[in-house]
Amino acid sequence: MSDGQKARVQAQFGPSAQDYVASAGHAGGDDLERLVAWGRTRGGQRVLDVATGGGHTALAFAGFAPAVVATDLTLPMLEAARGFIWGRGADTVRFLASDVEALPFRGASFGVVTCRIAAHHFPAILTALKEIARVLKPGGCLLLQDILGHDDRELAAFILDVEKRRDPSHVRALPQREWAAFLKAAGMTVIDESILSKVRPWEEWTGRMRMKVEAKADLERFVLDAPARCREAFGFRVEQGRIKSFTDRMILLRADRD
């Protein structure tokens, strides 16, 4: 990964680490429940949670997996996750700072890899997926959740602009067909998938990234001035000229290593 992207990720997430631990949208939801339900079918496997953020996925898997290792590129995030998870009594979870593109593990070390709400920050998705496939045992499984990208060019460009204005470390959300192709190229086969909607309360969503007042006002103006079909596609709720929330879709994928 380029030093520029690494610095962008660390600059975005380092100061917000505790906000991610406290975020209700990360702490739970239908998406996390689905990943856990898929994970439970794999029973007693060692789990790697990449880009653990505030640690909610690692904590959920520590409830039934014999061993969980959590990794993240951003050290303050990893420290916040460790404080949170160990504070909940899950002191068998281990933490390691690392880029998903260069995981510090031997090949075939894990039965399950989880990656939730993070892949849109990975600049070289195929490199990341190949690295995940390398550390998975044959027949092991990747449980992934991410923002779903759009096939419609105008909608994709609009939401990419919104995301990047809020978080300059956002790279791109992949549409469904690209996920299947990248996973196949990395040596994994999709065996289950589903799509869920998630409502984003505007104040909380922009606040978590500590946007400056002016940048936030510019973003709001950008959305309000955009073509109506863009706002409608993402369910932007506007009251008295102010944005209250919008809705995006999440893709959940279960892919087995070939």
Ligand X SMILES: C[S@@+](CC[C@H](N)C(=O)[O-])C[C@H]1O[C@@H](n2cnc3c(N)ncnc32)[C@H](O)[C@@H]1O
HEC secondary structure over 135-149: HEEEEEEEEEEEECC
Of the pair 117, 135, the CB lying nearest ligand X is at 117
For the bound state, the minimum distance from the C-beta of residue 99 to ligand X, rounded and expressed in Å, comes to: 4
Of the pair 45, 74, the CB lying nearest ligand X is at 74
Backbone angles phi, psi at 226, to 5 degrees: -70, 160
Cα separation, 67 vs 112, whole angstroms = 11
Sign of CA dihedral 105, 186, 120, 194: negative
Cα separation, 126 vs 128, whole angstroms = 5
Backbone angles phi, psi at 17, to 5 degrees: -55, -50
The correct pick among 13, 158, 202, 236 for binding ligand X (CB under 6 A) is 13
**Is residue 95 a contact residue for ligand X (CB under 6 A)?**
no
For the bound state, the minimum distance from the C-beta of residue 113 to ligand X, rounded and expressed in Å, comes to: 12
Mask for 22-61, x = binds ligand X (CB under 6 A):
----x-----------------------xxxxx-xx----
For the bound state, the minimum distance from the C-beta of residue 108 to ligand X, rounded and expressed in Å, comes to: 20
**Is residue 72 a contact residue for ligand X (CB under 6 A)?**
yes
The stretch near ligand X (CB under 6 A) out of 67-75, 83-91, 130-138, 152-160 is: 67-75
**Is residue 116 a contact residue for ligand X (CB under 6 A)?**
yes
Backbone angles phi, psi at 164, to 5 degrees: -70, -35
**Is residue 122 a contact residue for ligand X (CB under 6 A)?**
yes
The correct pick among 34, 69, 82, 99 for binding ligand X (CB under 6 A) is 99
The correct pick among 9, 85, 173, 255 for binding ligand X (CB under 6 A) is 9
For the bound state, the minimum distance from the C-beta of residue 210 to ligand X, rounded and expressed in Å, comes to: 14
Site residues for ligand X per CB under 6 A: 1, 9, 13, 20, 26, 50-54, 56-57, 72-74, 77, 99-100, 116-118, 121-122
